[in-house]
């Protein structure tokens, strides 16, 4: 009787593990398809398009609050949701070590600031110390272009 019970328990356990693995595989496949779908939503950028800081340079010292001006060449700035060829809106990355995924919408949080109204400047109030800043252009869906239009990362010191 105990052998029968052990055999039954083993069959149930194996069945549960197989079902769980199948669910994980299906979830991974679904996530991969969603990521591929997002890649299809990237907008093209023209050769030579560039984005840059107009009034800040790497190594500059500023007093907070300070103005940041965004520059863009080869493309136009439009509000988020506006789907026009060779256009997008700015996103400012503050103290980010890595760029966000290029096939997904840029996150919106305290270190990924969206300028979805088409703003070309902003006022920042950062604490004293060193900070890195970088700009990335997002399309109408906040997804980076293909190829991505990204500024050089600069380091500033706030007094």
The contacts of residue 76 (CB under 8 Å, 6+ apart) are 84, 86, 87
pTM of the model: 0.77
CB-side exposure of 61: number of CA atoms within 13 Å?
Answer: 3
Sign of the four-CA dihedral 151, 89, 55, 108: negative
Q: Give the Cα-Cα-Cα angle 18, 29, 100 (nearest 5 degrees).
A: 130
Per-residue model confidence as pLDDT tens digits over 8-64: 443 443 444 433 343 443 444 444 434 445 558 999 999 999 999 999 999 999 999
pLDDT of residue 104: 97
CA–CA dist 17, 10 (Å, integer): 11
pLDDT at 3 over 60: no
pLDDT at 121 over 70: yes
Residues 76-80, mean pLDDT to the nearest whole number: 98
pLDDT of residue 27: 44
Greatest alpha-carbon pair distance for the chain in Å reads 82
% of the chain exceeding 90 in pLDDT:
75
End-to-end distance of the chain based on CA atoms, in angstroms? 78
Phi/psi of residue 122, each to 5°? -155, 165
At the fourth CATH level, the homologous superfamily of domain 50-158 is Immunoglobulins (2.60.40.10)
pLDDT of residue 40: 82
CA–CA dist 75, 120 (Å, integer): 13
pLDDT of residue 132: 98
What is the rounded (10 degree) CA torsion for 93, 94, 100, 103? -20
């Amino acid at each position: 009787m105990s052998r029968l019970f052990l055999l039954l328990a083993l069959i149930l356990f194996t069945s549960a593990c197989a079902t769980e693995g199948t669910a994980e595989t299906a979830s991974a496949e679904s996530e991969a398809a969603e990521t591929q779908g997002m890649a299809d939503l990237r907008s093209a950028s023209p050769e030579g398009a560039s984005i840059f800081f107009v009034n800040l340079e790497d190594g500059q010292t500023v007093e907070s609050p300070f103005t940041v001006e965004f520059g863009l060449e080869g493309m136009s700035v439009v509000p988020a949701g506006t789907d026009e060829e060779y256009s997008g809106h700015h996103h400012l990355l503050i103290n980010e070590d890595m760029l966000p995924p290029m096939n997904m919408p840029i996150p919106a949080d305290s270190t990924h600031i969206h300028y979805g109204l088409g703003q070309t400047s902003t006022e920042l109030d950062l604490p004293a110390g060193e900070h890195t800043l970088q700009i990335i252009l997002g399309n109408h869906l906040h997804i980076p272009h293909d190829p991505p239009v990204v500024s050089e990362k600069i380091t500033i010191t706030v007094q």
